[in-house]
């Protein structure tokens, strides 16, 4: 693991309002050294191997535009601020995960998205490009410790994909319909499996925000063991209806009730 949890805490000290000077300082220090390609919106792209999976995290936080750096405290392996500012684990921890995956040479198309906190503008731009070889988009930008998101407004990934990923990831991960929005949702009209994974932060966008550093380390032990290529691809991004699958311990059972979702 190239970047330790100590490095993550240093990264969390950068308050990065969308388009701010501190966001650009952060990008130049941590992301530009991997020599990414830039698109016209200045999203950063790094491709390893011949992947069928996009991995995303976003570079901005909800801090004010004119913010600077902040002190990060750690107690019992929980990172936090002094309660006067937002920690910004949403989505600093996602950036930290992607950088470690790149260092581990895990095949993937890595996108460090701009302006997620301003409405997913960066991913809205990059999702317009047709990518016929890409079948999956995985964002690391979800609160908590257990969620593999299947719905962001509407269904964005199949239950089969979510359960297969949960099985490989381990811990208490399982599918969740409780998603709202992150960058992966913008790809869902052309790419079948688009999800978001819990990365161990709580109370995002508030001065109470925390990041569980042990969970961040757990993810970086498990992610390199996942066979992303073999994850099932079941969702049809061009259909508005699909059967809902329910999980039991041995198989999926078809529930005839239809599941309404919009793209």
Q: Please report, for residues 6, 56, 81, the alpha-carbon distance to residue 75 in angstroms, rounded to integers and kept in the order given.
A: 13, 29, 11
Per-residue pLDDT at 238: 86
Q: How many CB atoms lie within 10 A of CB 37?
A: 9
Q: Residue 243: which domain range?
A: 5-260
Q: How many CB atoms lie within 10 A of CB 91?
A: 30
Is residue 165 scored above 60 in pLDDT? yes
Our count of domains for the chain comes to 1
Is residue 46 scored above 50 in pLDDT? yes
Span 180-191, average pLDDT? 96
Span 9-21, average pLDDT? 98
CB 72 within 8 A of CB 13: yes
Per-residue pLDDT at 186: 97
Q: How many CB atoms lie within 10 A of CB 250?
A: 6
- Residue 239 tokens, joined: 């259909």
Q: Please report, for residues 2, 28, 42, 56, 88, the alpha-carbon distance to residue 37 in angstroms, rounded to integers and kept in the order given.
A: 21, 13, 9, 14, 25
Span 6-28, average pLDDT? 98
Q: How many CB atoms lie within 10 A of CB 128?
A: 10
pLDDT tens digits, residue range 150-162?
Answer: 999 899 999 999 9
Q: Please report, for residues 72, 88, 143, 252, the alpha-carbon distance to residue 234 in angstroms, rounded to integers and kept in the order given.
A: 42, 34, 25, 13
Confidence grade of residue 102 (pLDDT, cut at 50, 70, 90): very high
The size of the chain, in residues, is 263
Entry pTM: 0.91
CB 226 within 8 A of CB 171: no
pLDDT tens digits, residue range 111-122?
Answer: 999 999 999 999
CATH code, domain with 44: 3.40.630.10
Per-residue pLDDT at 83: 97
């Amino acid at each position: 693991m190239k970047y330790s949890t100590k490095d993550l805490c240093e990264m969390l000290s950068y308050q990065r309002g969308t388009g701010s000077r501190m966001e650009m300082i952060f990008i130049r220090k941590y992301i530009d050294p991997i020599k990414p390609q830039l698109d016209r919106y200045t999203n950063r792209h790094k491709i390893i191997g011949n992947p069928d999976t996009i991995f995303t995290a976003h570079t901005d936080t909800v801090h004010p535009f004119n913010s600077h750096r902040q002190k990060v405290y750690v107690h019992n392996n929980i990172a936090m601020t002094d309660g006067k500012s937002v920690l910004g684990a949403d989505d600093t921890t996602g950036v930290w995960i992607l950088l470690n995956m790149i260092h581990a040479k895990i095949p993937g198309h890595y996108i460090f998205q701009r302006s997620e906190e301003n409405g997913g503008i960066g991913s809205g731009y990059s999702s317009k490009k047709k990518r016929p070889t890409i079948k999956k988009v995985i964002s690391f930008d979800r609160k908590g410790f257990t969620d593999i998101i299947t719905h962001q407004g509407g269904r964005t990934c199949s239950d089969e994909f979510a359960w297969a990923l949960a099985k490989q990831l381990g811990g208490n991960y399982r599918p969740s319909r409780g998603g709202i929005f992150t960058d992966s949702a913008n790809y869902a009209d052309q790419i079948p499996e688009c999800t978001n994974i819990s990365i161990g932060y709580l109370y995002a966008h508030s001065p109470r925000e925390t990041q569980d550093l042990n969970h961040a380390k757990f993810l970086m032990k498990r992610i390199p063991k996942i066979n992303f290529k073999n994850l099932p691809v079941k969702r049809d991004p061009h259909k508005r209806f699909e059967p809902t699958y329910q999980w039991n311990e041995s198989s999926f059972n078809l529930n005839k009730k239809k599941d309404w979702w919009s793209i």
